[in-house]
Amino acid sequence: MQGAMTALITPFKNGKVDEETYAKLIQRQIDNGIDWVVPVGTTGESATLTHDEHKRCIEIAVEVCKGTDTKVLAGAGSNSTHEAIDLAKFAEEKGANAILSVSPYYNKPTQRGLYEHYKALANSIEIPVVLYNVPGRTCSNIEVDTAIRLFNEVENIVAIKEATGKIENVVALCSKSGISVISGDDAINYPIIASGGKGVISVTSNLLPKKIADLVHSALKGEFIESKKINEELYELNKILFVESNPIPIKYAMYEAGLLPSLEYRLPLVEPSEENKEKIKKVLKKYL
């Protein structure tokens, strides 16, 4: 489990998923060398999609990627284990190559609970499982020892999306196990790979897929000077895309770049403030 991966946005039109635009956005990722697309994660506003919409987004991603070198890492997370299992089984049935499953949010499970949750989820399917650790959103931290135990004891748990912002976690995971660590924070994509990470799940690559693909591929080949250079070039953009809660800024940036025909969010998410719109547009001029 490695490479350049894009946490896809979900476009809406008149309150519904814009399937035509969604398919075009995925094809753009394929055309620009992205290794994996990640439908219906945090960036895809999965929290406000119905289960039918969630499943349809997975179907579209699989359909568009079929016959290409780009694989599908389908979002299949929930704070209810049986719901996560339902989504995971659907993703496997439809042809997703692997699933990404966020740690259960709101109900704040213990480390034992997290272990049992992921074990049950992984045992329900045969495709690989990627853990997703983002305690800033979930209030549920997958501790290093828990992630390593899951990797060692559950055959198809193969990777973890690390979005704590702590390089120390990356070093600990890589030094103590063979689990693939995937960056979940665009600002530190290069440092994470340089510390032993195997790839990134990027928000920025919605907008600049080739840049992120080049950053990741050069780093994985050991071309660290080139990778570091790209990471530094993208720093200002990476930062402004998190000036408000993700995916608010990236969807606005995509709209301003002409890649979205309409700008729609699902409540409680709303458009950026006028002040932040101006900041985003100012930074975009340097990259487009």
Catalytic residues: 132, 161
CA separation (Å) from 208 to 160, 235, 269? 24, 13, 23
Q: Where are the alpha helices (DSSP H) in the chain?
A: 19-31, 51-65, 81-94, 111-123, 135-138, 144-153, 167-176, 189-194, 209-220, 224-233, 235-240, 248-256, 274-284
Residue 12: which region, alpha, beta or left (left: phi > 0; alpha: psi -120 to 50)? beta
Contact 5, 37 (CB under 8 A): yes
Residue 26: which region, alpha, beta or left (left: phi > 0; alpha: psi -120 to 50)? alpha
Q: How far apart are CA 144 and CA 174, in angstroms?
A: 10
